[in-house]
Structure 1
Amino acid sequence: MQDREAAAIHAATLTLDTHVDIPWPNTPNPEGETQRRVDFQKMRRGGLNAVIFIAYLPQGPLNEAGHAEAAARAEAMLRHIRGTAGGDRDFCADAASLEAAKAKGHLGVVCAVENGYAMGEDLSRLALWKSLGATYVTLTHNGHNLLADSAIPRQDLGDAEMRHGGLSALGRAAIAEMNRVGLLVDVSHASRDAMLQAAAASRTPVVATHACCRALCDHPRNLDDEQLDAIKDVAGLVQITAVSGFLKKGREGVNNPPASVADYMDHVDHAVRRIGIEHVGMSSDFDGGGWLSDWPDAARSKALTAELLRRGYSAREIGLLWSGNFLRLMRNAALAARA
C-alpha cells in the first residue's frame, strides 16, 4: 500500500536534483544509456524530472592564464549543457519553465557554474553566465580563489589555512553582481567564515547546493548548526547531498561501505528539526563523487520519496524538499534582479 502511495507522490512531484557534474572535455550528449550516474534515460526511469548540470572548474593557479583557461571552459560547458535540450527536454532558466516542463511531461535541463575561480577579476563574466542560463555560481571549490577562502585549502597550490579571512573585497563585489543579475549564491565548498559572511552580504537567500550536517558527520565540507541557523536567518536553503564521506564517518584504513538512503535522510531529518522544512532540500552530486548504496544513480530516485514517506513526511513536505524550496529561491533571485 505504501509503495503505491510513494509511487503516486513521486509521479506528482516536480523532482529536481540541484547538483550533477558532467564529464569534460569531449562529453557526448547523454541521449541513450551511458556509464554516467545521470543520463536522460535514467532520469526517465527514475522519475527525476529535472537536473542542474554543472560547469565545474577545478581550482588552478591564481594568474591571468589560469583564469582565462577556466573562463573559456566555463562558457563552453554552459553552451554544451544548453545544447543537450531538444525534443522532450526543455532548457530551463527559471522556476516557471521548470514547472512548465513538468506539466508537459518533459525533462528539465538546467545549468550552473561551480567555482568562481572562472570569473577571475572580471565581474562581467557573471552576467554572461546568467545570459547562458546559469542558475547559480558556487563561490569556491577545493582551494582558495580570489573571491573567498575554501573549506578545503589546497596545499599543492600553496594554500595557507586561509587567504582572505572569509570573503575578499572582490568576493563581496561578485555577490553584489550576482544579486544584480539574478544568480543564486552557492556557499558549498566555502570556508565557515566565508559562508557566514556570504549569507550576511547577499541581498537574496544563499543556498548550499550540496552539503550535509556537521553535527552528524564532522567533515570540513559540512555545515555546523550555527551555519544552518544562518541559512534559516536569511531564508536560505541547504541541499543535503549523497556523498558518503559527508554522511557518515568511516574507519581509516578500512574499505568502508557506502552510505545508504537511511543515512542520507538522517541528515535531512536533522536539518529539518534544526531550521524547518522550508530551508532544506535534496541533491546527489552524481558524477562528482555522490552516490548511495540504494541510490546509485538517477534511475533509483524513487527511493528518496519512499523513505521520506516512511518517515512521516507529507506529500506537500516531500514536494518542498524535492523542488519547492529551491524554486522559491529561484523566484526570489529573479525578483531581486528586477528591483
Structure 2
Amino acid sequence: MNAAELHQDSIVIDGLIIAKWNRELFEDMKKGGLTAANCTVSIWEGFQNTVNNIVEMNQLITENSDLLRPVHSTRDILRAKEEGKTGIIYGFQNAHAYEDKIGYVEVFKKLGVGIVQMCYNTQNLVGTGCYERDGGLSDFGREIVAEMNRVGVMCDLSHVGSKTSEEVILESKKAVCYSHCLPSGLKDHPRNKSDEELKFIADHGGFIGVTMFAPFLKKGIESTIDDYAEAIEYVVNIAGIDQVGIGTDFTQGHDQAFFEMLTHDKGYARRLTRFGKIINPEGIRTVGEFGNLTETLLRRGFDEASVRKIMGENWVRVLGDVWGE
C-alpha cells in the first residue's frame, strides 16, 4: 500500500485544532483526509460565552453537515470515517468555563465537550499554567478531575505547569494527555515538555499529541515536515509507539489580533509570551496537506502499523478508555 492509499485508509485524528471555523477550513479538512479533530471552543471565556461559542459551532456543523458530524463517542469517529466526513470533538483549552461549579462538567459533556485542558498558561481555580510559578492542583481542582473522570472528559495538560500536571496525572483515575506539545530536548521553551515529563505521563498510561507549532520547533519558522516528524520520533522513543499521536495546533485563517489575545493573560491583561512570526512547517502548511505526514513517517522508517497508530488509532483507543464508549 503506498502512502496515499494508507492515508486514505487510516483513521486520521488531530488532537488540537484552533483554526478559524468556516466552510473553507472544513473543505480543507476533507482534502487532508481528517477523520476527527479536537476543536477548541473555549479559552478565556466563562460559562455563558462558552455556551454561545458552542451554539455557533452547532450551527456551523448543521450548515456543513455534508462535511462534518458531531462526535460524542468513539463510535461517532468510526461513523465519520465510514461517511467520509470529519468528526468534530468539542474541546476547551481552559477549565475556566467550569467557573466554580462542579456540575458544569457534566453539562458541557452533554453538549459534546470531550477534552478539557486544566489551565491555559496561567492560574485558574483548578491549578497553574506553564507561564507562572506553579502552585499545583487545588483541592477544587481535585474535585474537577474526579468529576471529569466520572462523566468521561479527558484531562489535557498541554499549557499546564509542571507541578500541576504531575498532580493531575497522579490524581486522575483515567488516562490524561498532552494533546499538543513538543519535547524540550529539541528546543527549550516553557511550553515544551522535558524527557522526564514525557516519560512520567506515558508511564502512568497517559497520552502525548505532538504539535508542529513553529515557535516551539527546533528550527522555528524555518522548520519543515521532516522537523515535525523528527519531534514525533523523539517522543515515540521516550513514550513508546502506543502512547503518541498528532495534535497539530493548526491556527489556520486567524489574524494577528487572535494571537495577541492568546499571548495575554485572560486574553487582554499582561503579556505572557511573544510568538513572533508564525508559519507552519513546509510540507504541512495547511490542514489539506495532512497526507504528506503519512508519507513522511513512512519515508523515515515507520512501518505501516506504526503510522496508523500515530495518525489516529492511538487517539481512538485512549479516548474510548476515557469516554467509556
Assess same fold via TM > 0.5.
yes
Contact 1:242 1:290 in 2 (8 A): no
Does the alignment pair 1:318 with 2:315? no
Report the AA paired with residue 48 of structure 1.
L
Q: Which has the higher mean CA deviation after the structures are superposed, 144-153 or 83-92?
A: 83-92
Does the alignment pair 1:334 with 2:310? no
Aligned to 1:271: 235
Aligned to 1:56: 42
Pick the aligned partner of 1:82 from 58, 62, 65.
Answer: 58
SS in 2 for 1:277: coil
Pick the aligned partner of 1:41 from 27, 33, 37.
Answer: 27
Q: CA deviation at 1:249?
A: 5.8
Aligned to 2:8: 11
Contact 1:285 1:291 in 2 (8 A): no
Residues 251-262 of structure 1 aligned to structure 2 (within 5 Å): 257-262=221-226
Mark the runs of 5 or more structure 2 residues left unpaired by the alignment.
252-258, 260-277
Deviations 1:244-297 (A, max 9, x none): 1211166xxxxxx33221111111111111120111111211117672222111
Deviations 1:105-143 (A, max 9, x none): 222122111101221211111111100011110001121
Q: CA deviation at 1:184?
A: 0.3
Does the alignment pair 1:213 with 2:183? yes
Mark the runs of 5 or more structure 1 residues left unpaired by the alignment.
24-28, 34-38, 59-68, 154-160, 251-256
Aligned to 1:228: 198
Aligned to 2:76: 97
Aligned to 2:273: none
**Cα distance in 1 for residues equivalent to 2:247 and 2:239:** 18
Pick the aligned partner of 1:285 from 235, 244, 249.
Answer: 249
**Cα distance in 1 for residues equivalent to 2:161 and 2:279:** 21
Does the alignment pair 1:30 with 2:22? yes
Q: Which has the higher mean CA deviation after the structures are superposed, 288-297 or 192-201?
A: 288-297
Report the AA paired with residue 240 of structure 2.
G
Contact 2:154 2:323 in 1 (8 A): no
Q: Note closer, same or farther for the CA distance 1:290–1:144 as it changes in structure 2 (3 Å cut).
A: farther
Q: CA deviation at 1:97?
A: 0.9
Deviations 1:8-36 (A, max 9, x none): 1100011111111144xxxxx622x3xxx
**Cα distance in 2 for residues equivalent to 1:290 and 1:76:** 30
Deviations 1:201-245 (A, max 9, x none): 100011111101111111111111111111112211110001112
Aligned to 1:152: 131
Report the AA paired with residue 208 of structure 2.
V
Q: CA deviation at 1:52?
A: 1.8
Report the AA paired with residue 11 of structure 2.
L
Contact 2:42 2:97 in 1 (8 A): no
SS in 2 for 1:53: strand
Q: Note closer, same or farther for the CA distance 1:290–1:186 as it changes in structure 2 (3 Å cut).
A: farther
Aligned to 1:131: 110
Does the alignment pair 1:115 with 2:94? yes
Pick the aligned partner of 1:244 from 187, 211, 214.
Answer: 214
**Cα distance in 2 for residues equivalent to 1:184 and 1:306:** 30
Q: CA deviation at 1:49?
A: 2.4
Q: CA deviation at 1:81?
A: 2.4
Aligned to 1:305: 294
Q: TM-score, normalised by structure 1?
A: 0.83
Contact 1:17 1:282 in 2 (8 A): yes
Contact 1:294 1:300 in 2 (8 A): yes
Aligned to 2:142: 172
Q: CA deviation at 1:91?
A: 1.0
**Cα distance in 1 for residues equivalent to 2:102 and 2:14:** 28
**Cα distance in 2 for residues equivalent to 1:80 and 1:320:** 33
Report the AA paired with residue 75 of structure 2.
A
**Cα distance in 1 for residues equivalent to 2:92 and 2:59:** 16
Q: CA deviation at 1:88?
A: 4.1
**Cα distance in 1 for residues equivalent to 2:15 and 2:196:** 23
**Cα distance in 2 for residues equivalent to 1:111 and 1:270:** 29
**Cα distance in 1 for residues equivalent to 2:247 and 2:222:** 17
- Structure 1 segments of 4 or more deviating over 6 A? none
Contact 1:82 1:109 in 2 (8 A): no
Q: CA deviation at 1:45?
A: 1.8
Deviations 1:169-192 (A, max 9, x none): 111111001001100000111111
**Cα distance in 2 for residues equivalent to 1:135 and 1:229:** 24
Q: Note closer, same or farther for the CA distance 1:328–1:214 as it changes in structure 2 (3 Å cut).
A: same
**Cα distance in 2 for residues equivalent to 1:7 and 1:244:** 25
